[in-house]
Amino acid sequence: MKMRIRQLVLVAENLEKTTDQLLQVFGLRVCHQDPGVAAFGLVNVLLPVGDTFLEVVSPTQDGTTAGRLLEKRRGDGGYMVILQVDSFERADARIEAQGLRKVWRSSQPGVVEAAHIHPGDLGNTCILSLDEMAVPADWIWAGDDWRDYRQEHLVSTLLGVELAAEDPEAAAKIWAELLERQANRDGDGWHIGLDEGTWIRFIAPPERGPGLIAMAVKCSQSAVVLQRANELNLPVLASSLELGGVRFDLID
C-alpha cells in the first residue's frame, strides 16, 4: 500500500494570528476555508505547500476535541496527520484487523474515501486520517483551485512529522502495523519511512506531553525563513523555528 504525508494540521486558539505568521514566515497563501469543519465545531484555513497542505483549525464552541487538546497541552500545537493512500479498502481492513476506533468516516464514491482514527488507539499521539482520492493528484479538502495559490519560492513540500509518545517504541509499532511498514530505531526515537521521501518519527514526550510536536518542510531559503521568524519574535534555532506550538525543521 503506497502512502505519503499529504496534509498536517495545527490547532490554534487564534486562527488569524497563527495563519498570518505562517503566511509571513513561509511565504504561503490561503487557498481554502472548508465549511464542512463546522460539523466538528471548528473553523479552518488551508495553505498549499507544493501539493501538500498545512491546515490550521480553531474551535468555535465548547466541548470540541480540538478545544480539549488546547487545554491539555496548554496552548497551540499539532492536531492531526493526514496520509494519502492508494487503497482505502486495504487501509480500512488494517484498521478493522487491529480493532482501531474510527471517529469519523467519509465515503463519497468516485471522489474520496477517508477515515479518522482515535489517537488513544495510536499510542496517544494524534488523530490519523487515511484518505484515498479517486483522482490522486486532487485534494478535495483544499477546494477546486488550490493550485492557483501555490507559492514555492521558500518552502515546497511537507516531508515529515515527529510525534511524542509515552512509549515511543510501542506507538511506532502500532502505526507500523497499520501502515504495513517497518519501525526502525533512529537515535533516541523510532522511524517509519513512507513513500515520496516522507516519514514519521516517534520520540519521548517533552514537558508539554505527548502529541504532534514537529514538522519537517523542504526549504530552499532557510536563512530568509529564519530571518522572517526572528522579525516576528518567534523562537529560532540553527535550522528550525517554533510556530503554532510546533517546531518546524527546515530541510534543504
pLDDT tens, 59-118? 999 888 899 999 988 899 999 999 999 999 999 999 999 999 999 999 999 999 999 999
Do 139 and 23 share a domain, yes or no? yes
Q: In whole angstroms, how far apart are CA 118 and each of 16, 65, 69, 153?
A: 28, 11, 13, 36
Do 122 and 58 share a domain, yes or no? yes
Q: Are 235 and 244 in contact (CB under 8 A)?
A: no
User: Residue 242: which CATH number?
Assistant: 3.10.180.10
Residue 129 CA, distance from chain mean position: 9
What's the confidence (pLDDT) of residue 207?
A: 87
Do 57 and 72 share a domain, yes or no? yes
pLDDT tens, 125-181? 999 999 999 999 999 999 999 999 999 999 999 999 999 999 999 999 999 999 999
For the chain, how many structural domains are there in total? 2
Q: What is the mean pLDDT of residues 35-57?
A: 96
Do 127 and 156 share a domain, yes or no? no
Cell numbers for 134, please give them. 479517486
Q: What is the pTM of this model?
A: 0.97
Do 186 and 108 share a domain, yes or no? no
Question: What whole-number distance in Å separates Cα of residue 68 and Cα of residue 62?
Answer: 9
Q: In whole angstroms, how far apart are CA 60 and each of 6, 44, 212, 221, 247?
A: 25, 10, 22, 36, 25
End-to-end CA distance of the chain: 28
Q: Using alpha carbons, select from 113, 186, 191, 112 the residue that is nearest to residue 159.
A: 191
Do 162 and 192 share a domain, yes or no? yes
Question: What whole-number distance in Å separates Cα of residue 249 and Cα of residue 134?
Answer: 32
